[in-house]
Structure 1
Amino acid sequence: MDKLRRVLNGEEDENESGLVGQIVEGSTLSWGTRLKSFVACFIFGILCSILGTVFLWLKNGLILFAVFYTLGNICALCSTCFLMGPLKQLKRMFNPARAIATSVMLWKNKPLALLFCVLQFLSLTWYSLSYIPYARDMVKKCFTSCLA
């Protein structure tokens, strides 16, 4: 458990020193605070994105859709920084285990946009769960037991 906390707090590299090391040491949060901040930021981002998606269906709501959906995605993506820290999150973003989740795109067709919005929410959730130990396994087992 101590090793897991060291990794999640960004202390896995013993060689880290200088300005970056001081910033990491001065900005560490407890695991509980990290999880609470992640959940709050993630939910706020998803709610903004859903609100933006609702605006997509209103007449001339494309600008509001773009603003709220973009704000929601940025907020939800930034929420993962609470779990690993911004530098490690950026480095690990293109890990092969997360490649599919980072590649979901949005198109101009409204039904397709709605489909990709849902897929993007799901991929962001799956991406975020990859930073919480054993979270993906728990979700897989939960869905397996529900479908069986």
Structure 2
Amino acid sequence: MASESISSLILFIAAMLVAASVAGVLVTNVNDISNSIDAYSGDVADKIDTDVEIISDPGSDAVYNASGDENVTLLVKNTGQKTLAGDGSDLDILLDGEYVATDVLTTTVPVGGGNDPWRRGVVAELEIDRALEIGAHRIVIDANGDREVFEFYVP
């Protein structure tokens, strides 16, 4: 009889060791998943809070200055909850499929210049110094996943 209780005790201790190691692995995995969700949810919140709208008229002569400096001028309004950088560094811009570097981009936020934050409701003027040929052109502006497309024609 004593041998039965000793073997039961050994099996019980072995079962407890296995259960403790499985619980330790599960706690570690759940903690890693929780940290990943926290990090990802911050990025998603930024994407949801960011929204810009291009308010320039594609039929206007003000979009492309062919007779002067040969630059593209767009009016872009921050309609989201997130405040963006006034220098345009939060924007990714493609002009006819080519990336526009921020050093080519001139951003003017009406409240005092390019170093002021670009708050909700404020309209920024984006100037891209690039000569364009006659024909249809397309600009894509991406701000934290919010993508706006602007198509215009140069006569």
**Superposition TM-score tier, normalisation by shorter sequence:** under 0.3
Larger radius of gyration: 2
Tell me which protein shows more helix as a share of its residues.
Answer: 1
TM-score for the superposition, normalised by structure 2 = 0.24
Q: TM-score, normalised by structure 1?
A: 0.25
- Identify the structure with the greater strand proportion: 2
